[in-house]
């Protein structure tokens, strides 16, 4: 275990004095969830962007549709209408698989928010639901979050992998533990998915790339950055982390691998976003060599 300070109720580390102080003040200042209710009144604040991309990465068919949502941050700084809009967008898209990217709460995993999380995930008309955990989850009662996700039909992957059901049984999803508050390790998941022809990795933060190393994973989907949350000039003022700061949001081509960084849905610490519109990701994975893609790769 790292020598960094551990949360008093969760297994997450790097829960330092500044973070503790911020959350202590927020619990008092945001009593009654008034910031979320106020922010919901701002025009456009509860709209969600669906970021759709078609990626030629399968050795053979059929097409696989993958949905991704992250950073719900259920709590006093995120309008519940916004979170529900994100899940409505995913439901309307009807993907084959949905990956939930962590940070389901901000501050505490209360019974109220766990019931909401269970209802939202459980209502998704999706056959396969998979989830990873984020730093805010691991700083609170993460076992409650895991239980709510599992009751809703989602399998939580902690340095593990699963093969998808037919007709996509040659594709595996590898879920890494959070890089900021835990210890991501790709080796167990690689072992569990050794028969897969294609691997897709999921991790809460872009720093999962460092844990993947040279592992054979064609796509990494993650969140955590919020696109900076405050990006008044279209680029974040500050995003911590060596990978996150270079790739704060969007789709990036990194050699033979794609990286998708979601701006997520909710907010932390302050209940606002500036030019960092909440999003969900929708990926249509097709056979390699497919031409005339409707959503070509972009990079920065």
Distance between CA atoms of 226 and 235, rounded to whole angstroms? 12
Q: Is residue 188 part of a domain?
A: yes
Q: Is residue 157 part of a domain?
A: yes
Amino acid 1: pLDDT:
39
> Whole domain around residue 190: which residue ranges?
17-287
Distance between CA atoms of 36 and 81, rounded to whole angstroms? 9
pLDDT average, residue stretch 105-125:
98
Please check the confidence at residue 291 and state whether its pLDDT lies above 70: no
Q: Enter the pTM of the model.
A: 0.95
Cβ neighbour number for residue 275 with a 10 Å cutoff: 14
Task: Count structural domains, the chain.
Answer: 1
- Give pLDDT tens digits for 48-95: 999 999 999 999 989 999 999 999 999 999 999 999 999 999 999 999
Q: Is residue 26 part of a domain?
A: yes
- Give pLDDT tens digits for 227-282: 999 999 878 988 999 999 999 999 999 988 999 999 999 999 999 999 999 999 99
Amino acid 4: pLDDT:
85
Amino acid 299: pLDDT:
35
Distance between CA atoms of 69 and 89, rounded to whole angstroms? 10
Distance between CA atoms of 273 and 80, rounded to whole angstroms? 15
- Give pLDDT tens digits for 120-134: 999 999 999 999 999
Distance between CA atoms of 117 and 140, rounded to whole angstroms? 15
Q: Is residue 39 part of a domain?
A: yes
Q: Is residue 96 part of a domain?
A: yes
Q: Is residue 299 part of a domain?
A: no
Amino acid 235: pLDDT:
85
Q: Is residue 296 part of a domain?
A: no
Instruction: Kindly report the CATH number assigned to the domain that includes residue 219.
Output: 3.60.21.10
């Amino acid at each position: 275990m790292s020598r960094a300070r551990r949360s008093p109720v969760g297994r997450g580390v790097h829960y330092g004095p500044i973070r503790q102080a911020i959350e202590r003040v927020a619990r008092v200042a945001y009593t009654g969830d008034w910031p979320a209710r106020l922010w919901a009144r701002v025009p456009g604040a509860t709209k969600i962007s669906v970021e759709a991309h078609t990626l030629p990465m399968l050795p053979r068919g059929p097409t696989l549709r993958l949905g991704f949502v992250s950073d719900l941050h259920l709590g006093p700084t995120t309008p519940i209408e916004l979170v529900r809009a994100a899940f409505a967008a995913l439901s309307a898209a009807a993907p084959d698989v949905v990956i939930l990217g962590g940070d389901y709460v901000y501050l505490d995993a209360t019974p109220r928010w766990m019931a909401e999380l269970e209802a939202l995930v459980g209502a998704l008309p999706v056959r396969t639901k998979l989830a990873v955990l984020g730093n805010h989850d691991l700083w609170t009662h993460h076992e409650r979050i895991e239980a709510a996700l599992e009751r809703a039909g989602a399998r939580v992957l902690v340095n593990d992998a699963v093969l998808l059901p037919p007709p996509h049984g040659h594709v595996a999803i590898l879920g890494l533990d959070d890089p900021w508050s835990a210890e991501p390790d790709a080796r167990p998941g690689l072992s569990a998915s050794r028969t897969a022809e294609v691997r897709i990795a999921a991790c809460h933060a872009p720093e999962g790339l460092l844990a993947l190393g040279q592992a054979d994973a064609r796509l990494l989907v993650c969140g955590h950055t919020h696109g900076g949350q405050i990006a008044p000039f279209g680029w974040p003022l500050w995003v911590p982390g060596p990978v996150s700061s270079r790739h704060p949001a969007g789709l990036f081509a990194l050699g033979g691998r794609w990286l998708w960084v979601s701006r997520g849905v909710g907010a932390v610490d302050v209940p606002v976003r500036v030019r960092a519109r909440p999003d969900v990701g929708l990926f249509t994975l097709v056979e390699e060599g497919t031409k005339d893609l409707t959503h070509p790769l972009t990079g920065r």
